[in-house]
Structure 1
Amino acid sequence: MLNYFLKRLLGLVPTLLIVAVLVFLFVHMLPGDPARLAAGQDADEQTVELVRQELGLDRPLHEQFVHYFSRMLQGDFGTSIRTRRPVSTEIAERFAPTLLLTITSMAWAVVFGMSIGVMSAVFRNQWPDRLGMTIAVSGISFPAFALGMLLMQVFSVYLGWLPTVGADSWKHYILPSLTLGAAVAAVMARFTRASFVEVIQEDFVRTARAKGVSERVVIAKHCLRNALIPVVTMMGLQFGFLLGGSIVVEAVFNWPGLGRLLVDSVTQRDYPVIQTLVLLFSLEFILINLIVDLLYGFINPTIRYK
């Protein structure tokens, strides 16, 4: 397993290099002049040109990329055009709120999603199954921004129970995490049901029941563990999507996280921040997939890594 882990880590290098090139080209194709935005709309052309030279945007594109990549290898991701602060500082301040929101959303989504999925599989084609799948389809179909505004209207405006903006206390996490985790819980429920239905029809399950093992033990010990491998794969991917795709929810709740930082950076054409955030999201996806692959060995000891 150690050799497999090291080989996968070495595979990060070419992947991140390709992502760095594509992101660099993409952000430089965005419409708008970052020098003009940084100087202000009332600045004259001479001032804008001075800002462009200061930011290094007057150089040829290939020179800009070499300069950016060489600094990145040294751990220097540049300075934000918008705030004039180091990019690493900007991201470090926003990373913790996004990570905690993602973990909170994923935790309740896994608990409720897997519970609904297992219940639907055990009682398939009965009313618990129909009710659970109806809830799951509703969760997938309802847009995140609409759900967020609905929750704010009910629990903040009408009832006054929960705050709407900020990340100062545990109460601030409730509405954003419910909004962010709703679609994940719905996908988890459907995926768990499909995996459970397939496993519950296997021969070893019928054998366990024929031996007189109680249905609770059959479900919890024999079915759950064997059904977890595809579910864990989906959990890893969904966690990556939550960590990098919470832009809409953070915008609705004015959440001080990476998603809101990315929106502000794109608006201001803040090239260093955009490039670093996309590279960070790519690295997160790769590492999460690696962790998921390693978890297979713990869930199913018969799996061997080559």
Structure 2
Amino acid sequence: MLNYFLKRLLDMIPTLLIVLVVVFMFVHLLPGDPARLMAGREADAAVIAMVRQDLGLDRPLYAQFWRFFTHVLHGDLGTSMASKRPVTNEIAIRFLPTLWLTLTSMVWAVIFGMSIGMISAIWRNRWPDRLGMTLAVSGLSFPSFALGMLLMQVFSVELGWLPTVGAESWRHYILPSITLGAAVAAVMARFTRASFADVLQEDYMRTARAKGVREFLVITKHGLRNALIPVVTMMGLQFGFLLGGSIVVEKVFNWPGLGRLLVDAVEMRDYPVIQGLVLLFSLEFIIINLLVDVLYAAINPSIRYR
């Protein structure tokens, strides 16, 4: 296991190098001139040229990339063009609100999604299954921004029960977490149903029932553990999706997180912030995939890594 873990860590290095190149090229292909945006609409060509020189955008592209690459190796993601503060500080301020929102969304999405999937698999092709899959398809089909605005209209505007913007208390997390986690719960429900339905047909499940084991223990002890491996894979991918894909939800609810920071950075063509955020999201996906692979051994000790 240790050798496998170390090998995967080493495999991350070329992946991150590729991500660095792709992120840098993608950002510099965005339309618009950051120097003109920073200088203002009324600035003349001389002022824009001075701003471009101050930002380092007058250098050749390869020189800009080498500077970006060497700074990243030292843990420096650069300085924001808009706020003039280090990008690491900008990310650190916004990271915790996004992390807590993601964790809240993931917890309820996993609980409800797996519950609906298990119930649908046990009562397959009957009314609980049809109801559960209808809810799952609805969760996948409804756009997150539309769901967010609908929830705000009902629970904030009409009923006045919940706040719409901010992250000051637990009540602020309810509507954004429901909006963000709805699609994940739907995916988890469909994936759990498919995995659990296959496990229920296995011989060891029939053997356990033949031995007189209670149905609850057959489902939870024998069935759930064996059905969890593909579900854990999907869970890890969905968690990475939530961390990096909360942009629309954070914009709708004016959430002070990384998603809104990325939108603001794109609007201002703030290259260092965009590069830092995309690099962070990529690193999160790589680490989550590694942790998911390691969790396989905890779920099923029969798995061996070579």
1:166 paired residue number: 166
Unaligned runs of 5+ in 1: none
Residue 131 of structure 2 aligns to which amino acid in structure 1?
A: L
| Partner of residue 119, structure 2 | 119
Partner of 1:224: 224
Please report how far the alpha carbon of residue 19 of structure 1 lies from its aligned counterpart in structure 2 after TM superposition: 0.6
- Asked whether 1:101 is paired with 2:98, we answer no
Q: Distance in 1 between matches of 2:138 and 2:8?
A: 38
Aligned twin of 2:273: 273
C-alpha displacement of 1:62: 0.3
- Matched with 2:58 is 58
Aligned twin of 1:4: 4
TM-score (norm 2): 0.99
The residue type equivalent to 2:290 in the other structure is: L
**Structure 2 partner of 1:39:** 39
Number of matched residues?
306
Tell me how far apart the structure 2 counterparts of residues 208 and 72 of structure 1 sit (CA, whole Å): 55
Task: Give the letter aligned to residue 235 of structure 1.
Answer: M
2:130 aligns to what? 130
**Offset of residue 23 of structure 1:** 0.8
- What's the secondary structure of 1:11's corresponding residue? helix
Query: What do the CA deviations read for 1:152-182 (whole angstroms, capped 9, x no partner)?
Result: 0000001101000011110000000000000
Q: Deviations over 1:123-169 (max 9, x none)?
A: 11111111101111100000000000000000000110100001111
* d(CA) in 1 for partners of 2:83, 2:44: 21
Please report how far the alpha carbon of residue 301 of structure 1 lies from its aligned counterpart in structure 2 after TM superposition.
0.2
- CA displacement at 1:12 relative to structure 2: 1.2
Tell me which amino acid in the other structure corresponds to 2:120: S
Give me the whole-angstrom Cα distance separating, in 2, the residues matched to 1:188 and 1:68. 39
Q: Percent identity at matched positions?
A: 76
Moved over 3 A (4+): none
Shift of 1:265: 0.5
How big is each residue's C-alpha offset from its partner over 1:55-75, in whole Å with a ceiling of 9 and x where there is no partner? 110000001001111111111
Superimposed CA distance per residue, residues 52-96 of structure 1 (whole angstroms, 9 cap, x where no aligned partner): 001110000001001111111111111101111110000000000
Cα distance in 2 between the residues matched to 1:173 and 1:41: 38
Residue 248 of structure 2: SS of its match in structure 1?
helix
Task: Give 1:44 shift.
Answer: 1.4
Give matches, 1:189-268, under 5 Å: 189-268=189-268
Q: Work out whether 1:289 is the aligned partner of 2:289.
A: yes
Task: Give the superposition deviation at 1:184.
Answer: 0.3
SS in 2 for 1:64: helix
Match of 1:142 in 2: 142
1:197-217 residue CA offsets vs partner (Å, 9 max, x unmatched): 000000000001111111111
| Whole-Å separation in 1 of the counterparts to 2:72 and 2:289 | 24
TM-score, normalization: structure 1? 0.99
Counterpart-to-counterpart distance in 2, 1:72 and 1:187: 36
Matched to 2:145, the amino acid is F
Q: Which moved more, 1:224-233 or 1:65-74?
A: 65-74
How far the C-alpha of 1:246 sits from its partner, in A, is 0.5
Q: Could you tell me how far apart the structure 1 residues matched to 2:300 and 2:80 are?
A: 46
Cα deviation, 1:220-241, whole Å, max 9, x if unaligned, reads: 1100000000000000000000
- How far, CA to CA, are the matches of 1:186 and 1:75 in structure 2? 38
Query: Hey, what does 1:88 align to over in structure 2?
Result: 88
> What is the rounded CA distance, in whole Å, between the counterparts of 2:256 and 2:158 in structure 1?
25
Counterpart residue identity of residue 74, structure 1: H
Query: Residue 110 of structure 2 aligns with which residue?
Result: 110
Name the counterpart of 1:301.
Answer: 301
Q: Distance in 1 between matches of 2:298 and 2:78?
A: 41
> 1:40, CA displacement in angstroms?
1.1
